[in-house]
Amino acid sequence: MPAHPAPAEQVRRLIRRVDRAALGTRMAGAAAGIGGDAWPYVSLVLLAVDQTAAPLLLLSDLAEHTRNLKADDRISLLVDGTAGLADPLTGARATLLGRARRCDERSLLARYVTRHPSAAGYAGFEDFNLYRVDVEVAHLVAGFGRIHWIDGAAILDTPAPALAAAEPDIVAHMNHDHADALDRMAAAAGLSGTGWRMTGIDPDGIDLRSGGEVGRIDFAVRVEDAGAARAELVRLAQAACRT
């Protein structure tokens, strides 16, 4: 990936890389101890994305932010890529503005739970529902002086239905048969520790998790089906053996 990719690509890769976000909603009623409504309300949410990088949220009906978005589905999401930097203000972060809409696609719920294994304990509860965010615009701050407003449609990746269909099998195969290779690939990508497991694959790269840590390895080329995925994963594994 270039040192400074196009702003839309940078936002897409940032959304794919992070596993949490700050969710902003508009209070549907009076906040405790504060009169009136329409106060901004910000909360922490776990984030996953679909194959195109559209954000996915698994939310409880009992949560304040869910009550808010049911009254007004306009939301904002802050995705933060500044962790670990000596000066966080030099790092990339993006505010996404869009609408959260309930989504009942079981494959997307499965993708969310694979990304966040802890969610398996409550994903089936009746009061938890998956929401897909239709991003209308994003505001990227990628360091001092590198600030852009970006149309939401430009951020999303082109669908790759063949890869999406093959994803569960690819993930299961890599975790079951090539766990050592995943650790070597993670180390070559600068990720520390062992026990890395694949949690997802998309046209841009693969998602990894080891305990509470998440990681991302970008592909050198776009991948759209199982054959191309295998070729790129073999290349990454071979490159990791040489490091």
What single string gives the DSSP state of each residue in 92-160?
-EEEEEEEEEEE--HHHHHHHHHH-GGGGGTTTSTTEEEEEEEEEEEEEE-STT-EEEEEHHHHSPPP-
Cα 136 to Cα 208: distance, rounded to the nearest angstrom: 28
Task: With cut-offs at 50, 70 and 90, classify the pLDDT of residue 3.
Answer: low
What pLDDT is stored for residue 139 in this prediction?
Answer: 98
Domains of the chain: 7-155 (2.30.110.10), 161-241 (3.20.180.10)
Overall average pLDDT of the 204-210 stretch: 97
Instruction: Indicate whether 1 pLDDT > 70.
Output: no
Which of the four pLDDT bands, split at 50, 70 and 90, describes residue 38? confident
Distance CA 189, CA 205 (A): 12
Is the model's pTM score more than 0.85?
yes
Q: Is the pLDDT of residue 242 over 90?
A: no
Q: Which residue has the tokens 């939401």?
A: 152
What is the amino acid identity at position 94?
A: A
